[in-house]
Structure 1
Amino acid sequence: MKAKILILFSLAVCLLLPYSAAAHAGSEGTEQPKPVQAFDVEAGKVVKTVPNSKEYQAFAKSWLDSVTGLAPQISANEKCGYVYRIPLMEPVSVKTTGLAVQTSDVFLFYCPNKPPLLLIFDENRKPYLLLFKADIGPFLKTIAIP
């Protein structure tokens, strides 16, 4: 059980690390929003990086607004599909039964023929895997992967 959480957390960290140094390298006041990334789980690498935009922010916020609760499973299926990372330009509050946290990143786990899941981290980097009901079709069409 803890191993699955560790795998999930490790995957998210792989997507976060390349940008921790970049955030410190930019001069103050000119920091660009961190890009949106598509991570191919099977290939084990980021396969697409696109500039973050208001459109991607709106997708992420609509997903977070439609959260229905914590996912019953402990981890997403790490063997299929893609994980999309959308860094938020401003922290967003996520509230559902038994959960009230703020997050700065949204990870969408997409596996064909399975319901999508969201992974968020609170201020202390504690992970939460969430169910939600928003349509991800427009996002998938925009990012063009898969």
Structure 2
Amino acid sequence: MPLQRLAAMLLAVGMMFGFAMSASAEAPNNEPFKPVQVFDVKAGKVVKSVPNDKQFQSFAHSWIGSVTGLAPQLKNDDSCSYVYRIPLEKPATIKVNGIKVAAEDVFLFYCDEKPPLLLVFDEQRRPYLLLFSADIKPFIQKIGLP
């Protein structure tokens, strides 16, 4: 049962962000990337969308470069307040524990008193939760939430 709840939560997050992006599938001509979005878990919706830039791309690639392994199962609790979606300029290949994933987006789970986690989806939309060691403070300062 907990695995089913986890799958449902991951699918819901992917769908919420997917629906939010469907209205603007392409970035405007003056913006090189799709926007970075902030999903408020408790509110159940995207609460902030900001222009994506090279610095956000750098943050995401530093997280990907610091992946240390697959994360243990995420428990469905109230400690995760925000999920951040950073669309990548081009797919990034992540290799971990014998798995190779070409991710188009990186989702950062920010949970109180827990290490942050990355969520990526493979080409078949299967979710992978990843542990990583890079500092997220500069990203949080730039995005402004929480």
TM over 0.5: yes
Q: What's the CA shift for 1:78? A: 5.2
Q: What's the CA shift for 1:16? A: 1.4
User: Cα distance 1:76–1:9, how it changes in 2: closer, same or farther (>3 A)?
Assistant: farther
SS in 1 for 2:130: strand
**What is the percent sequence identity of the aligned residues?**
55
Q: What's the CA shift for 1:125? A: 0.9
Aligned pair count?
143
In structure 2, the gaps of 5 or more residues are none
Q: Distance in 1 between matches of 2:114 and 2:93?
A: 26
1:13 counterpart residue number = 15
Q: What's the CA shift for 1:3? A: 2.7
2:68 counterpart residue number = 68
Q: What's the CA shift for 1:99? A: 1.4
Q: What's the CA shift for 1:53? A: 0.4
In structure 1, the gaps of 5 or more residues are none
| Preserved CA contact (<8 Å) 1:121 1:128 | yes
Please list the CA deviations of residues 28-71 of structure 1 after superposition, one character each: whole Å capped at 9, or x if unmatched: x8885210011111121211110010000000010011111111
Root-mean-square deviation (CA, aligned residues, Å) is 2.0
Q: What's the CA shift for 1:123? A: 1.1
SS in 1 for 2:113: coil
Q: What's the CA shift for 1:22? A: 2.5
Please list the CA deviations of residues 97-138 of structure 1 after superposition, one character each: whole Å capped at 9, or x if unmatched: 221110000000001211000000011111101110100000
Q: Distance in 1 between matches of 2:54 and 2:86?
A: 11
Q: Distance in 2 between matches of 1:45 and 1:132?
A: 26
